[in-house]
A and B are shown apart, each in its own frame.
Chain A
Amino acid sequence: SQQGEEDPQALSIQEGENATMNCSYKTSINNLQWYRQNSGRGLVHLILIRSNEREKHSGRLRVTLDTSKKSSSLLITASRAADTASYFCATAHSQGGAQKLVFGQGTRLTINP
């Protein structure tokens, strides 16, 4: 399976602290994406980093990508209660002309007030 692994599976921190989630994958990728899912809702795209990029920022989000280690990390700075959600990494692959995303199992983040 190409499925990625996310670490940790669950993370609980205090509001204002930084949250770091990690993602590892097995095969070469075109890009890696992070999504957020609030309870009972669909996934929302957060940020995309291409295979030739090493770091990307978007607001309080910082994503890094190390293709030599086949790993990525998502950092959320100055966390807020509204950041409580599950976070998924997804690797984008080309396969015979098809374009597919392979999702990790997710990290459940809880921000305590």
Chain B
Amino acid sequence: DAGITQSPRHKVTETGTPVTLRCHQTENHRYMYWYRQDPGHGLRLIHYSYGVKDTDKGEVSDGYSVSRSKTEDFLLTLESATSSQTSVYFCAIREDRGLFIDEQFFGPGTRLTVL
């Protein structure tokens, strides 16, 4: 357990509503990531952060925004949820070991259903 929590764990919402998912870590790691997992696609990177207020886009960033105002929290926002965003969302952190890209530690996931 790398001290990562995600909230909520489950959410059902309607198309067009805004949704914010929260990832919280307790170990002050620099790097945080948001992925979505869908059948047949494995995990795909949405956005990531390499420090407070430092974020960048991943492979499937359209329709998503992120914010990181403090080290321990990384928020993922769906400005106007669509049915195609129904998925399981995972947050991950990575320790900062300089140039080496080391393992990531994953949270328990948030299952989001958009009706």
Q: What residues of chain A have their CB less than 8 Å away from a CB belonging to chain B? A: 1, 3, 30-31, 33, 35, 40-45, 48, 88, 90, 92-94, 98-106
Contacts and interface: CB of A to CB of B under 8 A. Distances in A.
A100 B43 contact: no
A56 B106 CA distance: 23
B42 A3 contact: yes
Nearest to A6: B42
**Is chain B's binding surface mostly helix, strand, loop or mixed?**
strand
B42 A99 contact: no
B64 interface: no
Contacts, number: 57
Most buried by B among A35, A43, A100, A104: A43
B42 A31 contact: no
A41 B109 contact: yes
B41 interface: yes
Interface of B: 31, 33, 35, 40-45, 48, 50, 56, 58-59, 90, 92, 94, 100-109
The list of the 4 closest CB pairs from A to B, nearest first, reads A42-B106, A92-B101, A45-B103, A103-B43
A48 B102 CA distance: 8
Contact of A42 (B33, B41, B94, B107): B107
A33 B103 CA distance: 7
11 contacts: A1-B59, A33-B103, A40-B109, A42-B107, A88-B42, A90-B43, A103-B42, A103-B44, A104-B42, A105-B40, A105-B42
B48 A100 contact: yes
Nearest to A2: B59
A86 B32 CA distance: 23
A45 B104 contact: yes
A33 B100 CA distance: 13
